[in-house]
Structure 1
Amino acid sequence: MNFPSNDTIVALATAQGPGAISVIRLSGPEAISLTNKVFRGKDLEKQASHTLHFGTIREGERLIDEVLVSLFVAPHSYTKENVVEISCHGSEYIVAEIIKLFLREGARLAEAGEFTKRAFLNGQMDLAQAEAVADLISSNSRMSHEVAMKQMRGGFSQEIKNLRAQLVHFASMIELELDFAEEDVEFADRSALRKLIAEIQKLLRHLLQSFELGNVLKNGVPTVIVGKPNAGKSTLLNVLLNEEKAIVSDIPGTTRDFIEDEVSIEGIRFRFIDTAGLRETEDKVEALGVERTRQKVEEAALVIYLFDINSTTPQELQQEITDLKTSGKPVILVANKIDADQNQLQQFDQLENLVGISASQKLHIPELKNAIVSQVKTANLQDRSQTIVTNLRHVASLEKTYAALDDVLHGLDLGISSELVASDIRRALHALGEITGEITTDDLLENIFSKFCIGK
């Protein structure tokens, strides 16, 4: 996605389709002058940055639309270039006519993510912040929004820069030793270097461990609802989603495959998955569904085991719990159909993580939701000041950094030359630099920004 730095790009910045208004964005050295050619109102080239101007867009004498033009004069803009945003009526025809007009005037269509890429290349933000822009756009819960917002504002980047600055100091000292190799002197305190590496690796472990949580916050908590046939799993799914998503029937084995949908509970996105009932069966189709249920349990972050309180004994339930615990996943036990006889619940009082509900009557559903949320509210999630890694590319770079620092420690143990120690530190610095974009390649940028929407 290479482009000359002296061209001007244009794209629709709002979603495709008709609406009340649409916003067309231009960026580049001629963004204001090109707009001024087709705008009837004030002379835009004489106006201050961050001002709004009402007027019309015309091609010659042909009126296309009445618009509101927002001016952002370089370097005080998203891209650090001249930027114009035109708010027009949300007609697809009007949008197309305005964009075609700018193309005829000399602008070109922006590529995916090109506005944000220009912001990165012009030093407005680093690469981790640019990636957080995409995460912010796709955030669909309070928690994923908070994590993306913190990263976009530089929280994660600052931690990486701090780590890098400390390593740079020792790298420079060791590089200095190479200039005085014949004198056999040491400018870098090896014991202090060991201590620093230990501290950095501790922080790297924390960041790497946070990815499991970050991935969940970004993509939703995969939560599988399992149990025997006719326990009420489909009814529970419908209640949690507040819609008739799954077919409900008194006939056991109605659900042959899995049904999946998402909902936000207390700002956390959950992906609930209704599965086929767990039982031995000679029905080949149902047996395939049961096997997929077991696969979904392996992939889940949380398991809800639903059972009919009126037809399940504590002994049967204990066996099911034992089988589920082999998956190593947290399990919430949900006793369903307590509306028939709530006294039945007493025989299961000794069990942990037990919630009694009636899915059909929507009884105690808020208590169940509280139990579900409490399972994922870890210390990291509660402490909003903690940095949470959500990007697999960042994980790969952090792992490379950790491995390079391991090599530094191993080299110090063996007493290897300063040149080799310096080489391993440079590898660690390179890996950290890949996260923020201090070290980058065209292929990497192409891969990142091609995933953005057009106009961002």
Structure 2
Amino acid sequence: MDKENESLTTHYSQQETIVALATPNGIGAIAVIRLSGHDAIAIANSVWKGKDLTKQESHTIHFGHIVDNELVLDEVLASLFIAPKSYTRENVVEISCHASGYIIESIIKLFIKKGARSAKPGEFTLRAFLNGQLDLSQAEAVADLIASNSKASQQVALQQLRGGFSSQLQVLREQLVNFASLIELELDFAEEDVEFANRDQLKQLIIDITRIIGRLIQSFELGNAIKQGVNTVIAGRPNAGKSTLLNALLNEERAIVSHIPGTTRDTIEEILNIQGVNFRLIDTAGIREATDAIEQIGVQRTMEKISQSALLIYVFDADQISPAELRNDIESLQAPGIAMLLVANKIDLLNQEEKTARISGFFQNSGLSDTQTVFVSAKEKLHIDDLKNRIYSTAIKGKLSGDETLVTNIRHLEALQKTEEALVRVLGGIDGSITSDFLSMDIKQALHYLGEITGVVTTDDLLDNIFSKFCIGK
């Protein structure tokens, strides 16, 4: 097998010491080189000029030099973490050196020469998992935390890293294990026809667990939106002011604005952060009968983006559109699972009397609700902050709390769905009075899928798939 493509888990041995750069590549002030393994401190000490690192206490930092024979490579700081009080629960040394590419490469090559080997992607966190420092869902949260690009995604990942999700699953699994053991006991006394597991209590437990798992499954929509950003499409008729609105929300001239209808032919995507949540704003071509092939493609893409969105911001010209036209537009674009926010633009073109009459007419004749409608002037940037608040409340408010468990990982979602299916079979078996051996099989299936999430049940392929996506050094 090509060494470059070998399985990550087949490389793992607690006796091996691994080394990698733990900070990003590139020119900077400081770089951190991490060693982990049984001989990490001894290897570092073998090229160290300073205090004897093998005689120092854990969680201490020491100044010294890295030397290759008599050649000084750099003056550095060495941070010591003695097993099991480290990230990997192994001996760990972190060398803080100057971030010269030459110095970094020289020090890593020296450590490899002294007995370490290059770490694979995610191998430090894999060791933390295999040594019991983290469960699998917490290990995945490490990658999510590194990749987080908003306050909300950072908080969700941190909550999972702290074990909130794992603790909830562990309680459910322990309750199932207790009943599974009683049913297994029944199988040992099958000839005597005894019942150790009360079927009414088991049924209630399954109902309770299924309800919790159902809530976790439903949380994926919000959790994934927070992790990836909320897909938010800005749509409307040509010349309604969609591109002007995008520019106003971003506070920069991102989209080309023209009085000519149909200026936007393709989609434009930008990120807007509102109260710690990223919204993926997508400005689209105006919805109308296309006048040429290119515009037709643009309108088709608009409809595709709308169907893929979590939030649709429908912009209309408050000075031009009639209530009947507006009602038809709303009815044609409404779809299950897509929240809609209506933006009445160009209110700067109306005087106060006209504005009052238009607003009243819209609410009476188009079916608009004041809870889903915001009146703005994108050109003059009137009420843009109100619109941002309404965007956030429509997509997020009331759904996100600091201690709420949200599922953000598709692997976890699929395992929960399979767990739910197995539990539904258990309920059906109880109602159908099936024998203990069949009940036991379905409960074991549910336990298996729950165990896959936290890593109680694993395979080398699963671990390779997860940790190979990590950066090297983590």
- What is the TM-score with the length of structure 2 in the denominator? 0.93
Residues 1:435 and 2:453 aligned together: yes
Match of 1:368 in 2: 387
Q: Residue 86 of structure 2: which of 77, 80, 89 is its match?
A: 77
Residues 1:416 and 2:434 aligned together: yes
Match of 2:4 in 1: none
Q: Is the 8 A contact 1:297 1:327 kept in 2?
A: no
Residues 1:348 and 2:367 aligned together: no
Residues 1:407 and 2:400 aligned together: no
Give the AA of the match of 1:93: Y
Query: Aligned Cα RMSD in Å?
Result: 1.4
Give the AA of the match of 1:391: N
CA shift, 1:232, in A, is 1.9
Q: Is the 8 A contact 1:334 1:355 kept in 2?
A: yes
Q: Is the 8 A contact 1:380 1:386 kept in 2?
A: no
CA shift, 1:241, in A, is 2.4
Aligned residues: percent identity? 59
Residues 1:270 and 2:289 aligned together: no
Q: Is the 8 A contact 1:314 1:348 kept in 2?
A: no
Output aligned runs, 1:216-295, within 5 Å. Answer: 216-295=225-304
Q: Structure 2 CA distance, aligned partners of 1:59 and 1:294?
A: 64
- What is the TM-score with the length of structure 1 in the denominator? 0.97
Q: Is the 8 A contact 1:52 1:70 kept in 2?
A: yes
Match of 1:43 in 2: 52
Which secondary structure state, in structure 2, belongs to the residue aligned with residue 452 of structure 1? coil
Match of 1:450 in 2: 468
Q: Structure 2 CA distance, aligned partners of 1:300 and 1:338?
A: 27
Which secondary structure state, in structure 2, belongs to the residue aligned with residue 53 of structure 1? strand
Output aligned runs, 1:189-200, within 5 Å. Answer: 189-200=198-209
Give the AA of the match of 2:282: I
Q: Structure 2 CA distance, aligned partners of 1:234 and 1:83?
A: 53
Q: Structure 2 CA distance, aligned partners of 1:303 and 1:114?
A: 42
CA shift, 1:402, in A, is 1.1
Q: Structure 2 CA distance, aligned partners of 1:241 and 1:35?
A: 50
Q: Is the 8 A contact 2:310 2:337 kept in 1?
A: no
Q: Structure 2 CA distance, aligned partners of 1:280 and 1:71?
A: 68
Q: Residue 389 of structure 1: which of 407, 411, 414 is its match?
A: 407
Q: Structure 1 CA distance, aligned partners of 2:399 and 2:261?
A: 41
Q: Quick check: 437-446 or 407-416, which moved more?
A: 407-416
Q: Is the 8 A contact 1:229 1:279 kept in 2?
A: yes
CA shift, 1:378, in A, is 4.4
Output aligned runs, 1:292-371, within 5 Å. Answer: 292-326=301-335, 329-343=338-352, 344-346=354-356, 347-349=358-360, 350=363, 351-352=368-369, 353-371=372-390
Q: Is the 8 A contact 2:274 2:392 kept in 1?
A: yes
Match of 1:154 in 2: 163
Quick one: structure 1 residues 162 and 342, their matched pair in 2 at CA, closer, same or farther if it must change by over 3 Å?
A: farther
CA shift, 1:420, in A, is 1.5
Which secondary structure state, in structure 2, belongs to the residue aligned with residue 131 of structure 1? helix
CA shift, 1:279, in A, is 1.0
CA shift, 1:327, in A, is 5.6
Deviations 1:33-54 (A, max 9, x none): 1111112111111110000111
Q: Quick check: 177-186 or 325-334, which moved more?
A: 325-334
Q: Quick check: 14-23 or 283-292, which moved more?
A: 14-23
Give the AA of the match of 2:204: K
CA shift, 1:384, in A, is 2.3
Q: Structure 2 CA distance, aligned partners of 1:89 and 1:242?
A: 39
Q: Structure 1 CA distance, aligned partners of 2:296 and 2:251?
A: 29
Deviations 1:76-114 (A, max 9, x none): 000000111111112222212211221222211111110
Q: Structure 2 CA distance, aligned partners of 1:407 and 1:332?
A: 41
